[in-house]
């Protein structure tokens, strides 16, 4: 569970990829609002990066609009940041650095 995002998380390993299932824990969570507006389906795509600060800096330098200019805590000890969908053809994109 990621309390600050008001979401419960389950992770499924599929080969070298992972599928993350999200369940809102409050009606005012970002995921609950997404589900109310769009119904069930894909919320975002995530890419694992080795150095999230460097990835944010490079994307910003390349003109990408970031939702998070500073990484925040994600599920399972990760650090995450989101690219704004307007910079990625309408797809919410997450950068994810695994905890070490």
pLDDT in tens, 40-89: 888 889 999 999 999 999 999 999 999 999 999 988 889 999 999 999 98
pTM of the model: 0.76
In angstroms, rounded to a whole number, what is the distance separating the alpha carbons of residues 68 and 36?
Answer: 23
Quick one: what percent of the chain has pLDDT higher than 70? 99
The domain made up of 44-100 has a fold known as: 2,3-Dihydroxybiphenyl 1,2-Dioxygenase; domain 1 (3.10.180)
Contacts of 63 (CB under 8 A, 6+ apart): 87
Rounded to a whole number of angstroms, the distance between the first and last alpha carbons of the chain is 19
pLDDT category at 93 given cuts 50, 70, 90 is very high
For the cut 80, the answer to whether the pLDDT of residue 99 exceeds it is: no
Q: 40 vs 17, 29, 61, 74, 91, CA distance in Å? A: 21, 15, 34, 21, 15
pLDDT, position 36? 92
């Amino acid at each position: 569970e990621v309390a600050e995002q008001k979401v419960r998380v389950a992770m499924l390993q599929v080969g070298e990829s992972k599928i993350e299932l999200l369940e809102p824990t409050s009606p005012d969570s970002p995921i609950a609002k997404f589900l109310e507006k769009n119904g069930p389906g894909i919320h975002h795509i995530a890419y694992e990066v080795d150095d999230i600060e460097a990835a944010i800096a490079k994307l910003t330098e390349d003109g990408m609009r970031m939702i998070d200019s500073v990484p925040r805590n994600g599920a399972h000890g990760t650090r995450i940041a989101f690219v704004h969908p307007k910079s990625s053809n309408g797809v919410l994109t997450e950068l994810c650095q695994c905890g070490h």
